[in-house]
């Protein structure tokens, strides 16, 4: 077992099996991960300059926004696809569901890989393949090509729904984590509001190309075990660990982490199921907008697009409420220290008050929207309901995401991957029946289409 090379590395007591796990003279990753970089070490992500930190947060949030827009932009092409490919509405809608399912399955592989090779390389590979699989979507001549391209595109872009949250958690100490996490949390949910505008796949191609450059220049490696591994290898003049016969086993072991968290951690499972139900409702909510404002209020297409601004305003309001939640977190921490001592640590549950506050906002917003979408009620009333729903959604997801990062810091990407898998698999089902349900509900109230 290698000794600590400098005072910058603190060596905690190692578990027995780690000491005998090095093979072929190379530094073993699991063994190195038991060391910790001192927070004063220049390599520690917390010591990156504030401007560079926020450039990294902005870049990964833009990546998340791009992937979310890629999912929602597809719905604007339904009429054209029905005409060009001569297929049913359900088959066309399957392109949206396959993209969402790709976003759910991808993190099961990409997030654990980021915990072996680091975040940065996963971003670059993910964006490259996201760009590649946009091409068949843009030039497809049959529905089969489009559907396959959509699934693989969602799979490739899914790194920004799990790994990016790990990067944000790496960059900021826990008492400064809430606001950047709120920004990242809101970005994928803003995507469907702006995605239905008349953009094209070619705009997404340009966007993805720019993101590759931004990630290359502005997003450093932030995963502590990978940084420490590189430092120890440099100090001891060890070669980089090469692929070994055990690599497939290592990958399979890492890929099992999200499923283990779902099956062995009840709190993780409950929050993931909660997130899944909310995302399913969110997709139904998005689908209802065009039907409600077009059939009930006779909005033109551009006016239907503007009706999403209520959601956007609600989400921005939730982001601006961050100082209140940060103050609440600090009060809980101070109270805990008074009762248990200065070195008593922290509890991840302190991250959940926004999620608790968001739950009644979501249900109230849905209630207002559902019971005011009548032609004799002003159109602003359901939009107010949608803004309440938007604010509640951001509160819930920011609380859940920050809890998972605090509760599983070393495996935060895997924890977020478990969440992404659960909510995407669940939400991907809703577009297949959502439109029919909404049309039947509207027809049942005597509205014309």
- Give the containing element (helix H, strand E) for 136: helix 119-139
- Cβ distance 181 to 168 under 8 Å? yes
pLDDT of residue 32: 46
CA 259 to chain centre: 17
Q: How many CA atoms lie within 13 A of 226 on its CB side?
A: 19
Q: Is 102 exposed, middle or buried (0-12, 13-18, 19+ CB in 10 A)?
A: buried
- Cβ distance 438 to 373 under 8 Å? no
What lies within 8 Å, CB to CB, of 29 at 6+ separation is 116, 225, 229, 241, 250
Distance CA 442, CA 128 (A): 43
pLDDT of residue 313: 92
pLDDT of residue 43: 79
pLDDT of residue 12: 34
CATH of domain 35-444: 1.20.1250.20
- Cβ distance 444 to 137 under 8 Å? no
pLDDT of residue 178: 85
Among 278, 269, 119, smallest CA distance to 188 is for 278
Distance CA 237, CA 41 (A): 20
Pair of tokens at residue 135:
């091409």
Total count of residues recorded for the chain: 449
Backbone angles phi, psi at 428, to 5 degrees: -65, -20
Distance CA 186, CA 68 (A): 11
pLDDT of residue 238: 58
Strand partners, 9: 37
What lies within 8 Å, CB to CB, of 142 at 6+ separation is 85
Among 76, 292, 283, smallest CA distance to 200 is for 76
How far, CA to CA in Å, does 171 sit from each of 269, 389, 426? Answer: 26, 30, 31
Distance CA 17, CA 2 (A): 15
Q: Is 253 exposed, middle or buried (0-12, 13-18, 19+ CB in 10 A)?
A: middle
Q: Where are the alpha helices (DSSP H) in 13-77?
A: 16-19, 29-33, 50-73
Q: What is the largest CA-CA distance in the chain?
A: 77
Per-10-residue mean pLDDT for the chain, 449 residues long?
39 32 40 56 85 94 89 76 85 90 90 86 94 90 92 93 87 87 85 59 88 94 85 68 57 81 92 92 77 82 80 92 91 87 81 94 93 89 93 94 89 88 88 65 50
Distance CA 394, CA 190 (A): 10
- Cβ distance 180 to 302 under 8 Å? no
pLDDT of residue 15: 28
Among 410, 412, 394, smallest CA distance to 318 is for 394
pLDDT of residue 241: 52
């Amino acid at each position: 077992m290698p000794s600590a090379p400098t005072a910058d590395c603190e060596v905690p007591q190692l578990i027995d099996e780690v000491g005998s796990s090095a093979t072929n003279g190379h530094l073993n990753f699991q063994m190195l991960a038991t060391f910790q970089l001192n927070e004063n070490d220049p390599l520690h992500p917390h010591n990156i300059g504030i401007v560079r930190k926020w450039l990294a947060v902005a870049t990964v949030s833009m990546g998340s926004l791009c992937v979310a827009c890629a999912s929602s932009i597809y719905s604007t092409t339904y009429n054209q696809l029905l005409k060009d490919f001569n297929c049913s509405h359900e088959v066309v809608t399957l392109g949206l569901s396959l993209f969402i399912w790709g976003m759910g399955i991808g993190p099961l592989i990409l997030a654990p890989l980021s915990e072996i090779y680091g975040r940065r390389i996963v971003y670059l590979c993910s964006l490259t393949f996201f760009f590649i699989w946009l091409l068949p979507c843009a030039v497809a001549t049959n529905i089969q090509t489009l559907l396959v391209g959509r699934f693989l595109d969602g799979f490739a872009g899914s790194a920004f729904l799990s790994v990016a949250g790990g990067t944000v958690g790496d960059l900021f100490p826990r008492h400064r984590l809430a606001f950047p996490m709120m920004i990242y949390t809101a970005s994928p949910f803003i995507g469907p509001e702006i995605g239905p505008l008349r953009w094209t796949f070619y705009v997404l191609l340009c966007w993805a190309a720019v993101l590759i450059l931004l990630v290359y220049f502005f997003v450093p490696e932030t995963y502590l075990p990978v940084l420490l591994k590189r430092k120890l290898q440099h100090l001891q003049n060890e070669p980089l660990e090469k692929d070994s016969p055990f690599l497939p086993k290592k990958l399979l072991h890492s890929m099992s982490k999200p499923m283990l968290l779902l099956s062995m951690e009840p709190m993780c499972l409950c929050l993931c199921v909660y997130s899944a139900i909310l995302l399913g409702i969110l997709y139904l909510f998005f689908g209802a907008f065009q039907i409600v404002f077009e059939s009930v209020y006779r909005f033109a297409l551009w006016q239907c697009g503007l009706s999403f601004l209520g959601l956007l305003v609600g989400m921005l309001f939730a982001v601006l409420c961050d100082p209140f939640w940060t103050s609440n977190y600090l009060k809980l921490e101070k109270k805990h220290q008074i009762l248990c001592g200065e070195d008593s640590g922290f509890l991840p549950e302190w991250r959940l008050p926004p999620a608790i506050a968001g739950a009644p906002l979501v249900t109230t917003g849905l209630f207002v929207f559902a019971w005011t979408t009548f032609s004799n009620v002003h159109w602003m009333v359901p939009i107010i309901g949608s803004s309440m729903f938007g604010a509640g959604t951001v509160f819930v997801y920011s609380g859940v995401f920050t809890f998972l990062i605090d509760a599983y810091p070393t495996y935060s990407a895997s924890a977020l991957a478990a969440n992404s898998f659960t909510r995407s698999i669940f939400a991907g089902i809703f577009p297949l029946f959502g439109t029919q349900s909404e049309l039947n509900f509207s027809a049942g109230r005597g509205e014309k289409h």
